[in-house]
């Protein structure tokens, strides 16, 4: 029963995501694919995965313990705080903090998590901003 509920929630999320993608206003200067293509692909993949879970649920699902569920919700909370912190802290700092925390909760040591957060943040910054020329949120340090 719980898998069917999870599948139904996933289908609702996919429908909401597709609706949000379809109301994106397109500029006359957009590329051939447009800004709606990638979000619609994500919505379709989410819908197909949710449909598979809904139609063929696990006969004996095993739910994580309460402690693990709290960690999952904490990770979701970190992502919400990350989205809110992006305009204030900028991409590099916010991403380093979020990636560092998440890798720490996944089992890395403190120093390894800090290094992973910084390297992940700088690596993504180099690829998306410096190589591809995409605009990322600037922080108090100007990058």
Q: Which residue has the higher pLDDT, 30 or 139?
A: 139
Read off the pLDDT band of 33 (50, 70, 90). low
SS3 61: coil
Exposure pattern of 85-122 as b/e (b: 16+ CB <10 Å)? bbeebbbbbbbbbbbbbbbbeeebeeeebbebbbebbe
Residue 13: pLDDT over 90: yes
Calculate mean pLDDT across residues 131-143. 83
Whether residue 55 has pLDDT greater than 90? yes
d(CA 77, CA 70): 10
Residue 78, both tokens: 């970190």
Residue 63 scores a pLDDT above 90: no
Residues 38 and 25: their CA atoms lie apart, in Å, by 14
């Amino acid at each position: 029963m719980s898998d069917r509920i999870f599948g139904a929630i996933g289908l609702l999320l996919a429908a909401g995501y597709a609706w949000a993608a379809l109301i994106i206003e397109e500029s006359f200067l957009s590329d051939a694919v447009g800004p709606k293509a990638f979000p619609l692909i994500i919505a379709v993949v989410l819908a197909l995965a949710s449909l598979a879970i809904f139609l063929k649920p696990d006969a004996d699902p095993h739910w994580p313990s309460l402690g693990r569920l709290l960690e999952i919700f904490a990770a979701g909370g970190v992502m919400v705080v990350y989205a809110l912190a992006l305009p204030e802290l900028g991409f590099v700092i916010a991403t380093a903090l979020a990636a560092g925390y998440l890798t720490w909760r996944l089992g890395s040591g403190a120093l390894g998590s800090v290094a992973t957060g910084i390297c992940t943040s700088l690596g993504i910054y180099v690829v998306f901003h410096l190589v591809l020329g995409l605009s990322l949120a600037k922080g108090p340090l100007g990058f």
